[in-house]
Structure formats: structure tokens, C-alpha cells
Chain A
Amino acid sequence: MKKTEAVCRILLFFLIVCLLTGCWDRQEIEDKAYVIGLGLDRSKVEGKIKVTMLLANAEVGSIQGGGGSTEKPREIVTFDANDFIAAKATGNSVISRDISYELLKIIVVSEEYAHDKDFIKKFYDILKDKDIRLDCYLAISKENASEYFIRNRPKMETRPHKYFQFMIDHGIDNGFIPDSTLFRFFKTLERGTDFYLAMYTTANKEKNPEVRSEDEYMAGQLNATGEVGATQFIGSAVFKNGVMINKLTGQETRNINILDDSTSIQDILVDIPDPFSKDKLQFAARIMKTENNKVKMDLKGQRPKIFITIPLKIEIISNPSMVNYTEKKNQLIVKKQIAAHIETLNEKLLKKTQTKFKGVPYPLSMYARKYFGTIQEYKKFNWGKSYQKADIHVKVDVEIIDYGKRTKKPPRVGA
């Protein structure tokens, strides 16, 4: 009897040992250095890349910590490496904690390196790494990524993960930057029919930039002064087969975002030329896109025809020429003006993509698919080639939901 009891106890002991296997993958937050931003630059050495890691200090800013910590909120380290995955180990010779990509939020690639054909070869490693999530964003910086992270000194959001999260989320909501997740990057690359847009950013303001309309800037062109950080997120970089080929301004990026139903653009503020004003005044309007675009195609003929209808809801916010919008006639004029303005912007942009980029920077090809029965027919049609000679018509369905608060002109003295 005693023997069985002893055996049972030993077995129980083994059972408890099984529970300890959970400790294999235990992770102590104390012990981890979380990389929030990863920078990639061309290295001076052939076949290598320059890796920059932006590490967040988990202790700073958390309320539970009591705010007693006087440590810096971030650490930045740059070195040359063969790839950015093994670089985690190399980085540990400088960083005291175990480096992890689990909370990676943004990958910044310098414009120069993104133009390089080697870039995509190194970049494909992301799919092999187990830590990096595909909802991480890709951004292109005007300067070197290593320089970008150092110069990027936000004044209010000193914790880097919060800063990038807010900056990117609101940029995408405004439409100034594209929703450039890695997931979309690889999806576009595999599809091979259209181009990918990555957000464009810089922490280096141009000297004496000219003043333009509200969204016609590229990152670095806005002359913002005062007590703010120098970083700007606006515009986008165009990628063809994983290599950067061109850039789009904030305005063009916005238009692409309106055309692209797969991004969630909420409401954007724009200036539109006022049809009632003789001195080229512009009125402000809020554009809301709540419905999906309707795309019809006629792909039979020599030149494919594409008809895009964009439904937009518009709220007029300012009224510089003091027009009385209660009159039906004026309402019609302004409606026509808005539709014509957006149509020309879009058609001009699409024409530019056809002639200059030779491809469409958003998944327009998806709409063409339903006109084919089988994949073979679709491949034979060759979207990439056909798009360049396509005849594109953009129509904007404007619905004005509000003409502003004030309806009447203020009375003039002596009139």
C-alpha cells in the first residue's frame, strides 16, 4: 500500500513539473526593450544596411509608476548590420535589455534607400520574423532614418509609441497620409497590378518654403514655427514592385484616399475656389465620405473605359463672398462648382498616374476583376498595360448637407 502511495506522489510531482513548461516563454517587462520605430538606411558597406532602433522606456509616463522616474523616455541606437533581425542581437551589446520587435509601430526607410533595388530584398525579411505584426506602418523619410529619429523631438507626446500612434491615426483620418500598413504593402506586392503608397515624413524643415493651399504641401514644406517639434507627416511615396519611384503631395494623397475605398477616411477639411468671388477667394468645406464609390468599366474595346462615381457629402463652413445660400440658384451654382473642382482634380491626378507613373496607386484593378470569368482571361487582359491607355471619367455626386450657420449678410453702414 505504501508503495502505491509513493508512486502516486512521484507522479503528482511530475504533473506539477508540466506546469513549469509555461516558463519557457515567460517575458519580464522589466527585462525587455521594446523597439517602437525601426529605421533602415543604405550602409556604406556593400550588402549591409544601417539599422536604427528607437526604443521606448516603459517606465516613463505610466501613472502606476508614480511618475517618479527621471529617466529619458527613449533611446536611439544606430549601427550597420546584415539584416534587421539579427541586428536585435547586435543591439544588445549597447542596449542593456532584451530587444524585441513585438510593439513595433513604424518602420522608417530613407528616401534614398527606398529607391534602391536592394531594399525589397532586405525588407522581405519582415514576413519571416515572428515578432513583427503586419499592422505596423511603413513611412519614408526625406533624410536618413537615423537622423530622422534623432531630430524627431515631439514637445507634448514624449513617449514615442503614443506620439506615432496619434500622429499616424490622425494623419490617416485627414487623408494627408495613406494607410500604409505592411499588410497592404505585401498584399499590393503580391498582387502585382497596382502601386503602393507609403506615408512621407521628415523632421527637416525646408528653408524658406513657399506658402501654398491647405493640403498642397509635402512633408517639410509647411513653414510651421513656434514651440513645436520639426516632424511633419504629409504626402506619400509611390512604390512600384517594392521600389520607390515617385512622390505625391498631400493633396494628391488625399484624392487617392478618397478614390480608394479600402482606407477609412472620415471627414476632411478643404478649401475650394469660391464661384461667387472675383478675387479668387476660397471657401472652407468639410468633405465626408460615408458611401463607397461606384466603379463601372467597359473593358471590351481597344481603349478600356472606366467610370468612377464618388458620392460625397459636403458641409460648407465659411462664406467669404457673403453669398445668400437660401436662394436655390446659388445653391446649384456652388454644387456644380464643387463637383467640377473635385472632378478636375481627380482626372488630372489619374492622368498623371497613367502617363508619369504608368500604374494606379490604389487597388483599382480589383474592380476590373468581376468582368472576367477566369483568371486566365484576366491575366490576358493585362491590367498594368491596359490601365495606361484607359479612358477614365470621374463623376462626383455632391450632396450639400449644410450651408453654414449664418445665412444673411451683415448690413453695411450707409447702404
Chain B
Amino acid sequence: MKQQPGKIGIREYLSIAILMVGAKVTEDTPTALFQKVQNAAWMIPIITAAISFIPLFLLLKTMSLYQNKNLFSVIQKLLGKYLGFFVCFLIFIINVFSISFDSRTYTTIIRTFYFNRTPMVIIYAILMGVCVYGAKKGIQHIGSVAYLVVYYAVVFLFLSFVISTQDSSIQSLFPIWGPGKLEILKQSTLNLSLFSEFFLFALIIPSITSYKDFRKGTWIALVYVSIQLSVGIIIFICMFDVSLRGVGYPFHTAIRFISIGTFFPNIEIVFFVTWLMAAFIRFAVFLYINALMFGQLFKIKNFEFLIPALAAIYLLIGSIPESPYDISLQLKPILRSAIGPTFLVVSITLWLAALLKGEFKHEKNRGSM
């Protein structure tokens, strides 16, 4: 296989996508979904993935017109200089908060479950430090490491799921429709933010070897991640039953509970290490994309040098909320309800703009010529 310098192939892209979106099953997403629709929470990722298909399809279709251009250039081209800038800036701001709160959540998990005495700021700083180092290396390096890590991450995740089934009962999934079919459908549309990261991946299109790889990778990752999320939630529902409502981070509570026989009672450290590696990749990519956005917005060419500064700002924003409850119960729901619609509206607007401007026709003419 011929390697183009500075570009990533489909397998690297796929591993990045799986680690970034698939990691949601290990934080507070299962609990958040369970609080909404109780034991039908496992259906939400699948239905949401089906709904996300429409905006994602439109986005990919629009993006296919401008190969080798990233999302922000396309937005600015289609929506004009000022409106385009405004939309890009909005997406950037939402992502700033999203990365800040997410990284704070991860810090909280590490502190609560593994390093009780270390001050939060120190853990946060080290997490960010490692991710800055990764992000500064560029997307190609992140891609290679992601490809290295993804097998371990997935294998250990599913190993923990398999061991968790020892203490669970499948009956917890019933009554099958939970709070009712309509409610499930409603919550599925409200939780579009689950897969909003795919929207961000449109920013790294120029770094992917071919547009075809990007499209194929996106679909494969969407299907896989929705299944993984769904399976994870099923496992947690079967294990915790109704008490999942009060379990903040079910994955970490589960791995602290499970054991392999009596000889290996406390095995959480194995899963913790792989989870941590996945978290580093996740935030490295997140940081990289954010810096990329910032560079695009303000026309900064060597945006890699911005990464440490941006990371410091995210660290400060993430440190503002006093308790983890503020994040999980107040700020994140607001953010989630903002991300989903933005994702939907921007995708559809872009497609409409392209349609009205006749870009699709041009493309056809170009093709026939």
C-alpha cells in the first residue's frame, strides 16, 4: 500500500472514529439515556443512528462536491463570507465547551475511581498534557496510534461485557417498550448529539487518502459504534437494573465489581489502562480538530502551535464548574440539546444551499464532459 505523507487511510480513520465515538459507552451517556427512557435506553443509539443517517448522508453528498476541502471551507464557500464565518464560529464555540466538559468528566472518573487523593487540577493537567503532545504530532501519528490501540480497547471492552453478564439477568430489559414507543422516538431525536462527532470528522477530509475512504469509513463506524453503544447499554441495564439511574459511571462501577473467579478478584486496572489509552486518543483528536477549526477561522496556517494554548483554555473552562454534578446534570444536557439540532440544521442548510446554487448540476456536467 502506498502511503501518502501526512494522510491517513481508512483503517486509521476507522480506529479514530471508533475510539472517539465508541468511548461514550464508558462515561455517563448510558446513565443519561437511562434516566430518560429507563430500560428501553438500548434502543436509542440504534434509532438515533438511523435518524442521523439523513443529515450525515446530505452532508457527505455536499462534501463530495468539494473533494479535498474541509467542512469549514465548504461552509464559507456556500454560505458566504459573513454568514459562513458566523456558522463556523458557532460550531467552534460549541465544541470548545464540549471538549472542556468531556475532559472534565474523564478527569472526574479518574479521580473518583482510581486516584482519590491527587488534586483534580493535576490529573486534568496531565491528561491535557499527554493529549497536547499527541495532538501536536499531527493526525497521521494519532491515526497510527489509534490503529494500534483500537484492538486492545475493543477486545477489553467486550471482555468486560462478557464477564459482566455473570451477574446480570436478561429480564431487566422488560417491559420491552420502556416508557412507551412515542417517548423512545422523541428521545431518539433529542439525542442526535450522540453521533455529532461524525460531523466533525468532515473537517479532516483533506487528511484522508481519498474521499471514498472517508465515506466508507464513516458508514462502517456509524453502524459499528451504534451497535457497540447499544450492546453496552444492554449489559449495564441487565447488570444494574433500576439502580443504573443512580450509577454515575456504570462502566467503571461494573469493572470494579466483576472478577475472574475467586483468584482474580480486583481486575479493574486491566480495563482502566486500555480505557485511558482510548481516552488519550479521543482527546488528542478532539484537540487537533479544535485547533484546526480555530486555524481555519482566523486564517492561521501553522495551527499545530496553537494546541497547547487552546488546551490550557479548555482546562480552565473545564475547571470552572464546582462539582461533577453541575456538569453531568446541568451543563451537559444543555450542550447535548444544542449540538444535535446544530448538526441537523447545518447539514441540511449546506445541502439546500448547494442545491439552490446548482452545484449538483455543475458536478453532473463536469462528470459528463
Residues of A within 8 A of B (CB): 18, 21, 24-25, 127, 130, 133-135, 165, 169, 183, 186-187, 190-192, 261-262, 363, 366-367, 369-370, 372-378
Contacts and interface: CB of A to CB of B under 8 A. Distances in A.
B269 interface: no
Given A133-B266, A186-B243, A24 B115 contact: yes
B303 interface: no
A374 B243 CA distance: 18
A373 B118 contact: no
B179 A165 contact: no
Interface string B95-126: 00000000000000000111111110010001
A363 B286 CA distance: 44
16 contacts: A18-B126, A24-B115, A133-B257, A134-B253, A135-B257, A135-B265, A190-B242, A261-B169, A262-B167, A363-B169, A366-B171, A369-B172, A372-B174, A374-B178, A376-B179, A376-B180
B177 interface: yes
Nearest to B38: A375
B242 A373 contact: no
A64 B57 CA distance: 64
B129 A190 contact: no
Contacts of B38: 375
Contacts of B39: 375
A314 B32 CA distance: 47
Contact of A374 (B122, B129, B175, B246): B175
Contacts of A190: 241-243, 245-246
B259 interface: yes
Contact of B259 (A135, A192, A373): A135
A364 B308 CA distance: 56
A38 to B, nearest CB: 18
B180 A374 contact: yes
A370 B176 contact: yes
A135 B254 CA distance: 11
B140 to A, nearest CB: 24
Nearest to B240: A187
A21 B169 contact: no
Nearest to A261: B169
B262 interface: yes
A194 B206 CA distance: 58
Interface in B159-201: 167, 169, 171-172, 174-180
B126 A21 contact: yes
Contacts of B113: 130
Contacts of B174: 366, 369-370, 372
B336 interface: no
A134 B240 CA distance: 12
B175 A373 contact: yes
Q: How large is the interface on B (under 10, 10 to 19, 20 to 34, 35 or more residues)?
A: 35 or more
Given A127-B246, A169-B262, 5 more contacts: A25-B117, A187-B242, A190-B245, A363-B169, A370-B171
A191 B118 contact: no
A25 B116 contact: yes
A187 B245 CA distance: 11
B256 interface: yes
Contacts of B257: 133-135, 183
Interface in B232-280: 240-243, 245-246, 253, 256-257, 259, 262, 265-266
Interface string B212-243: 00000000000000000000000000001111
Contacts of B171: 363, 366-367, 369-370
Contacts of B265: 135
Nearest to A193: B242
B368 to A, nearest CB: 54
Contacts of B169: 261-262, 363, 366
B236 to A, nearest CB: 12
Counting from the closest, the 4 A-B pairs by CB-CB distance are A369-B174, A366-B171, A24-B118, A190-B243
A336 B174 CA distance: 36
Contacts of B119: 24
A130 B240 CA distance: 18
A366 B172 contact: yes
B47 to A, nearest CB: 17
B117 A377 contact: no
B118 A21 contact: yes
B234 to A, nearest CB: 15
A130 B243 contact: no
Contacts of A369: 171-172, 174-175
Nearest to A166: B262
A116 B17 CA distance: 53
B122 A21 contact: yes
A117 B235 CA distance: 34
Contacts of B253: 134
A14 to B, nearest CB: 10
A187 B253 CA distance: 13
Contacts of A187: 240-243
A53 to B, nearest CB: 20
A149 B245 CA distance: 36
Given A134-B257, A191-B241, A370-B171, A24 B178 contact: no
A216 to B, nearest CB: 29
A169 B129 CA distance: 46
Contacts of A370: 171, 174-176
Contacts of B115: 24-25
B221 to A, nearest CB: 33
B243 A375 contact: no
B175 A378 contact: yes
A213 to B, nearest CB: 30
B226 to A, nearest CB: 24
Nearest to B170: A366
Nearest to B259: A135
